Amino acid sequence: MILLLWAALAMSDVQKQVTVTCPVDGTKFTATEITGTNHWGGRDADGCPHAFNTTPLESYVWVCPGCKFAGRKKDFEAAVSDADKKALLAELKPLAEIKKDAKQNQIPGYVKFDLLAQSAQIRKAAPEELGRAFLHAAWSCRQQGAAVRDLALQAGWRNVQIHKDLDGFDRVLEAT
CB 17 within 8 A of CB 28: no
pLDDT (average), residues 40-57: 76
pLDDT of amino acid 43: 79
Task: Give the domain range for residue 168.
Answer: 152-176
134, part of any domain: yes
What is the per-residue pLDDT across 116-143, written as a single tens digit (0 to 9) for each?
A: 999 999 999 999 988 888 888 888 877 7
Three-class DSSP category at 150: helix
Domain check: are 126 and 176 in the same one? no
| Whether residue 155 has pLDDT greater than 80 | no
Domain check: are 175 and 105 in the same one? no
What is the per-residue pLDDT across 158-170, written as a single tens digit (0 to 9) for each?
A: 555 555 544 444 4
Domain check: are 84 and 63 in the same one? yes
pLDDT (average), residues 33-53: 75
The more confident residue out of 19 and 144 is 19
CB 25 within 8 A of CB 89: yes
Domain check: are 61 and 139 in the same one? yes
Domain check: are 52 and 129 in the same one? yes
44, part of any domain: yes
> Which secondary structure element, helix H or strand E, spans residue 4, and what is its range?
helix 2-10
- What's the pTM value of the predicted model, to 2 decimals? 0.73
| Residue among 110, 128, 52, 116 nearest 88 (CA) | 116
Domain check: are 28 and 113 in the same one? yes
pLDDT (average), residues 22-29: 97
Domains of the chain: total: 2
pLDDT of amino acid 167: 46
Domain check: are 93 and 112 in the same one? yes
Domain check: are 80 and 42 in the same one? yes
Domain check: are 75 and 110 in the same one? yes
Residue 92 neighbours by CB under 8 Å, 6+ apart? 67, 68, 69, 70, 115, 118, 119, 122
37, part of any domain: yes
